[in-house]
Amino acid sequence: MHMEQVSSSSGLDQLESRVRDDLARIRYATGDWCEPLERDGERVLDVAIIGGGQGGLATCFALRRRGLSNTCIFDQAARGGEGPWVTFARMITLRTPKHVTGPDLGIPSLTPQSWFEARYGVEAWQALHKISRQDWQAYLDWLRDVLALPVQNDRKLIDIDWRDGLLRLTFQQAGGAQSHVWARKMVLATGIEGGGAWHVPDFIAQALPASRYAHTSQQIDFAALKGKRIGVLGAGASAFDNAATALELGAGRVDLCLRRPKIPSVNPYRWMENAGFLGYFADLPDQTRWRFMHRIYDLNQPPPQDTFWRCRKHENFAFHTGTPWLAVKETADGVIVTTPHGEMTFDFLIIGTGFVIDLTRRPEMHRFAENVTLWRDRFTAPKGEESEVLSSHPYLGGNFQFLPRNAADPMAPMLAAIHNFTFAATPSMGLSGASISGMRFGVERLAQSIGRELFVQDGEKQLQSLLDYDIDELVSLAPPV
């Protein structure tokens, strides 16, 4: 549960002083080194970061640590609404263990534990099981402020263009006005749905009015569902989270249906939380990466034990394994759902079927989505190990960059300048920006790669800077008196 603040504001004040001191102690070689550019009288960003959630904030901080502060983060949400935590996430706590770190980049004073102890006290941290989603958002908000990260809210990316070796990004602002930004590189840190779109099966979307169903990623008026019969489709954690929320807010009955013969129980994310996998997965050969991901995607991520019991404790809750939905129709009595075991009647449906990876579903990528290499373009799975889901993901280069389907594609330089730090990167890069568990390792690789590419591109300029360097260090040949 979300905790009440028990420590005085002096606790956070003292922590912020520690942060400033820590960063001052390790500031060596963090000064800017990229030569400023202008285009049409406007400053050109070295890196534009799309998404102001945990991945975008951590990326911006990591780039600054490498001397790249000419960056800016853009997020379509209003301040405080970045990411899912206080918008559509309906879990009580994070699903990751409380000791997992990420946006801190290994600096102790910036860790979630340090923030939590400063706000609530050491004993509260020791007693804590997992961090609440509200506290996680508050921690990210604090991190943004204490590091003074440059974020522009209410900026929705609607177009990505390539002009004379630079990215030209078009944003729609609140109210409809448009603005443009030039950048040498960009990072897509747009989370779970950043590689496609949330998924509602066609047989549901085409048969029912929007008033009869909602995806778990949408805003849902649970108060209006009091006393109603609710059908939930899906076996993942979000399906159970939404079922629990409906039950807690007075739903008459909730039935959760899944196609699997049993609820998943093994969580591969706990296995993946080791430095070997997190740091080096991306360097494995294609077939090995495929087999890793085939197993991970097959296992899926089960609902945490506390989430399951959150539903199971209600007598008006039931789950039905081996019960896919085959068809739906609206009648005077409600929504009739056809399953292999007969029909079920509900007043409202909650769809927990996740998302699809499909770059063509991203309006901002309309210029180049068809040009991007997918796993299906580069790899043929061994017989019996095929996966349409894995095949749909972009096949990324070792720096998280998009690759062209055709090496001679004139869009190849543009694709190389776009680094995909969304969930869609998982088969290529492992856990990264959309995962707290893998963020630190992914961010370090991403920032190092971007810095390397910019320095190499500017190699001649950097050499000239050295040739022009004439600051005397030896200023006197006479001995001191």
The average pLDDT across 466-481 equals 90
Q: Is the per-residue pLDDT at 2 higher than 70? A: no
What digits encode the pLDDT tens for the residues 262-283?
A: 988 888 888 998 999 999 999 9
Give residues with Cβ within 8 angstroms of 281, minimum separation 6. 289, 292, 429, 430
List 336's β-bridge partners, or say none. 329, 345
What digits encode the pLDDT tens for the residues 69-100?
A: 999 999 999 999 999 999 999 999 998 889 98
Q: Which tokens in the block code for residue 183?
A: 């950048």
Angle between helices 436-457 and 459-468 (to 10 degrees): 60
DSSP assignment, residue 308?
H
Q: Residue 43 has what pLDDT? A: 96
Cα(450)–Cα(199) distance, rounded to whole angstroms?
32
Q: Please report the domains of the chain, with CATH numbers, ordered by start residue.
A: 9-195+357-462 (3.50.50.60), 200-265+302-353 (3.50.50.60)
Q: Residue 248 has what pLDDT? A: 97
Quick one: which of 147, 136, 181 has its CA closest to 161? 181
DSSP assignment of 230-273 equals: EEEE--SHHHHHHHHHHHHTTBSEEEEE-SSSS-----HHHHH-
Give residues with Cβ within 8 angstroms of 289, minimum separation 6. 281, 282, 427, 428
| The amino acid at 404 | P
**What confidence tier does 224 reach under pLDDT thresholds 50, 70, 90?**
very high
Q: Is the per-residue pLDDT at 5 higher than 60? A: no
- State how far the alpha carbon of 153 is from the alpha carbons of 75, 78, 122, 158, 181, in Å: 5, 5, 34, 14, 14
Quick one: which of 99, 93, 127 has its CA closest to 111? 99
- Cβ atoms of 62 and 71 closer than 8 Å: no
Give the SS3 label for residue 431: coil
What digits encode the pLDDT tens for the residues 131-157?
A: 999 999 999 999 999 999 999 999 999
Cα(377)–Cα(394) distance, rounded to whole angstroms?
9
What digits encode the pLDDT tens for the residues 297-316?
A: 988 788 889 899 999 999 99
Quick one: which of 279, 290, 296 has its CA closest to 444? 279
Q: Residue 95 has what pLDDT? A: 87
Q: What is the mean pLDDT of the chain?
A: 94
Quick one: which of 201, 220, 197 has its CA closest to 328? 201
What digits encode the pLDDT tens for the residues 362-388?
A: 999 999 999 999 999 999 999 999 999
To 5 degrees, how large is the angle CA 386–CA 420–CA 430? 50
Quick one: which of 156, 188, 174 has its CA closest to 75? 156
